[in-house]
Amino acid sequence: MNSNFGLLFLLIVPFSSAETTKQLEANLTCYGELSFFLNGKQFGRNDQTNITSTYSLKPGTEVLAVRCRNYRHKPWILGSVSNGLVTDTRWKCTSLQEHLKKNNLFWRNPYFDDSQWAQAIAKFSNQEANPWGKVLGIRDEALWISTADENHTRLFCRRRLSDLSLKRAKDSLMGMFQATIDDVDHALLHRPRSQHEVGDVMQCFKKCQGDSQCHSFNFEHDSVLPTRKCELNDATKGQDPVNYVRRPGYTYYENAE
Ligand SMILES: *[C@@H]1O[C@H](CO)[C@@H](O)[C@H](O)[C@H]1NC(C)=O
Ligand SMILES: *[C@@H]1O[C@H](CO)[C@@H](O)[C@H](O)[C@H]1NC(C)=O
Ligand SMILES: *[C@@H]1O[C@H](CO)[C@@H](O)[C@H](O)[C@H]1NC(C)=O
């Protein structure tokens, strides 16, 4: 490991890989009865369809998990988070009981392996002109999401704020990694060292580690393809704040100090 990069490790401290320093807010609703979970713990519920519930996301949040039950109609979920995340087809959803306890972990736990779950399907966005109208308090670009299955009464959806939490479980001896909840859907632009196609975030991390002038990287966390883009940068967001911008589907990582 070179000296420039001595501080980029994988994080061993539980729940630190996707921490936020400021409080985030999630506004959610569901077509049915809503239950909301953060890092595996039930956080709130709302039995009234079409009423937005507001939840605070405390530091340490890695996974948002939402359940929607509706015994008469197909359940759907809609929501937005104050860092710009919205419900869209990058969420994962299932309605199958057999998908819930894979690896003996609960579906809402950060360590749960949701790789068998399908990407959500989307109905329409939260706008006045659409058939369900505009639900107040939720951003216009949020989409009503569910699974493709018909005739189900329970819908379970997850949004991992970073795919590090799963990697960390596998690579926990490797130390520490730096991405905050605010770095999800962000990237540092115009500072390229090199670009790669990789299989997971660990491979991107290792590429950066192997380049003494690599100070941060952008990783394409949301991809339906087996390869993801890995962009090494010659600066950090602190050194070049103007080029640190919102970029859906990418997470920005940098060394610890
Ligand atoms: C959540 O709802 C409140 C009240 O309507 C609103 O002020 C806030 O901007 C909303 N936040 C998000 C992330 O949509
Ligand atoms: C939400 O409320 C609006 C206004 O009352 C209504 O038009 C719309 O159909 C409702 N949407 C759902 C999903 O119930
Ligand atoms: C859903 O249920 C209805 C009524 O029981 C049935 O006719 C239909 O074939 C079902 N659809 C699917 C996809 O299972």
Query: Maximum Cα–Cα distance for the chain, whole Å?
Result: 61
Between CA 257 and CA 171, with CA 195 as vertex, the angle to 5 degrees is 55
Instruction: Kindly report the backbone phi and psi dihedral angles of residue 150, in degrees, each rounded to the nearest multiple of 5, phi listed first.
Output: -100, 170
Query: What is the per-residue pLDDT for 192?
Result: 95
Q: Is the pLDDT of residue 57 over 80?
A: no
Identify which ligand lies nearest to the alpha carbon of 31.
2
Cβ of 31 less than 6 Å from ligand 2:
yes
CB-defined site of ligand 3, < 6 Å: 150-151
Q: Tens of pLDDT along 77-99?
A: 999 988 778 898 889 999 887 77
Identify which ligand lies nearest to the alpha carbon of 52.
1
Q: Is the pLDDT of residue 120 over 70?
A: yes
Identify which ligand lies nearest to the alpha carbon of 134.
2
Q: Ligand 3 centroid to 149 CA: how many Å?
A: 10
- Smallest CA-to-CA distance from 40 within 155, 167, 158, 153 is with 158
For atom 1 of ligand 1, which residue has the closest CA?
137
Which amino acid type is present at position 77? I
Q: Is the pLDDT of residue 104 over 80?
A: no
Find out whether 107 and 99 touch, Cβ atoms under 8 Å.
yes
Q: Is the pLDDT of residue 176 over 60?
A: no
Q: Ligand 2 centroid to 50 CA: how many Å?
A: 6
Q: Tens of pLDDT along 182-236?
A: 777 899 999 999 999 998 777 888 888 888 899 899 998 776 677 889 999 999 9
Residue with the bigger pLDDT between 199 and 240: it is 240
Residue with the bigger pLDDT between 9 and 179: it is 179
Q: Is the pLDDT of residue 242 over 90?
A: yes
Q: Ligand 2 centroid to 87 CA: how many Å?
A: 18
User: Using CA atoms, how far apart are residues 194 and 256, in angstroms rounded to an integer?
Assistant: 21
User: Using CA atoms, how far apart are residues 185 and 98, in angstroms rounded to an integer?
Assistant: 31
Query: How big is the chain, counted in residues?
Result: 257
Q: Ligand 2 centroid to 142 CA: how many Å?
A: 15
Cβ of 50 less than 6 Å from ligand 2:
yes
Give the other-Cβ count within 10 Å of 192's Cβ. Answer: 12
Q: Tens of pLDDT along 146-161?
A: 999 888 889 999 887 6
Cβ of 15 less than 6 Å from ligand 2:
no
Cβ of 60 less than 6 Å from ligand 1:
no
Instruction: Kindly report the backbone phi and psi dihedral angles of residue 9, in degrees, each rounded to the nearest multiple of 5, phi listed first.
Output: -125, 180
* Ligand 2 nearest atom to the CA of residue 131, by list position: 9
Find out whether 42 and 48 touch, Cβ atoms under 8 Å.
no
Identify which ligand lies nearest to the alpha carbon of 152.
3
For atom 5 of ligand 1, which residue has the closest CA?
137
For atom 8 of ligand 1, which residue has the closest CA?
137
Torsional sign, CA 182, 187, 193, 197: positive
Three-class DSSP category at 182: helix
Residue with the bigger pLDDT between 85 and 105: it is 85
251 exposed, middle or buried (CB, 10 Å; 0-12, 13-18, 19+)? Answer: buried
User: Using CA atoms, how far apart are residues 80 and 100, in angstroms rounded to an integer?
Assistant: 24
For the chain, percent of residues with pLDDT exceeding 90: 26
For atom 9 of ligand 1, which residue has the closest CA?
137
> In the predicted model, what is the mean pLDDT of residues 3-18?
31
Both structure tokens of 64? 């948002």
* Ligand 3 nearest atom to the CA of residue 149, by list position: 13
